[in-house]
Every structure is written in C-alpha cells, then in structure tokens.
Amino acid sequence: MDIERAGQFCRSYGEAMVNGRAQALADHYGFPYVSFTGGHISRFDDRDEADAMVQAHLDRFERSGIGIDIRLANYRVEPVSGGAALCHLDWEIHPKNGAAGWSWSNVYGLRQTPDSQHFEFNVSDNEFGELLARYPDFMSV
C-alpha cells in the first residue's frame, strides 16, 4: 500500500466534494460500490447509476436548504493489506441556510493496484446520524 498515493486520492475526493460535481465524486468509485449506513445497504452497480444517485443526493442537500459546502477536514489511511486500506475521512459542512455547521467521520474502503485506485465501499453511519439528528425529514425532501 502506497500511503502517500492513498493520501493523494483522499485529498482528490475532498476536492471533488468541494466542486460539488457528482461525476467527479463518482470518478473515485469502483463498481459495484457499496454503502453501509445504519444497517441499510445501498450500491452503485455501474458508473451511470453512481452518477445519477450521487447527483440525486447532492440535489437533496440543495433542496433542503443545507447546500453542499462540504469540506474534507482531515483523513487517515490505515493499511489492511498490500492493496487495501481503510480511509477515515473527516468532513465538515457549512450550511447555506445559516444553521450551525457540524462534522462527522466516514470510513472508505480503498483498493489500490499499481495502475489505479478506487473506493469499493463506505460506512456512513456518522454522516447520516449527524444529518438526521438535525434534519429528521432530510430523506423525504
């Protein structure tokens, strides 16, 4: 596991989030991509599905009034094998509706080969726990 390369990948994902483009975020996923959230499992089987589902999620942030000023605050790469790592990404959000911001941590599973790297999965319990504590109706917006 090339830790520096993995760190660059995490920072690139943070930059994609700052740009707020679904396609740039989905550039970081391998398929199928699986998301584990509070006992629920969702997945993107291919790139088109990822683009559509990530865009729908970003749109929900906009419709809710929160906006998508979401920034990568910190990260940590924890190797688990020569080609895999758990990436702990710390995020912070600055709502455009004037509400107080907050932070959370997600864990992403990184697969790295000599030629490429991508996230295979994430665990986003903290993200949705913090979000739904503040906006309980978020998923119905």
Q: State the Cα–Cα distance between residues 66 and 21, nearest whole angstrom.
A: 16
Q: How many CB atoms lie within 10 A of CB 137?
A: 8
Average pLDDT score over residue span 104-120: 98
Range of the domain at 92: 3-140
Per-residue b or e along 31-50, where b marks 16 or more CB atoms closer than 10 Å to that residue's CB: bebbbbbeeeeeebeeeeeb
Q: Concatenated DSSP letters for 23-70?
A: HHHHTTEEEEEEEEETTEEEEE-SHHHHHHHHHHHHHHHHHHT--S-E
For the chain, give the percent of residues with pLDDT over 90.
Answer: 99
Q: What is the pLDDT of residue 101?
A: 97
Domains of the chain: total: 1
| CATH code, domain carrying 90 | 3.10.450.50
Q: How confident is the model at residue 141 (pLDDT cuts 50, 70, 90)?
A: confident
Average pLDDT score over residue span 82-99: 97
pLDDT at 89 over 90: yes
Average pLDDT score over residue span 13-31: 97
pTM for this predicted structure? 0.95
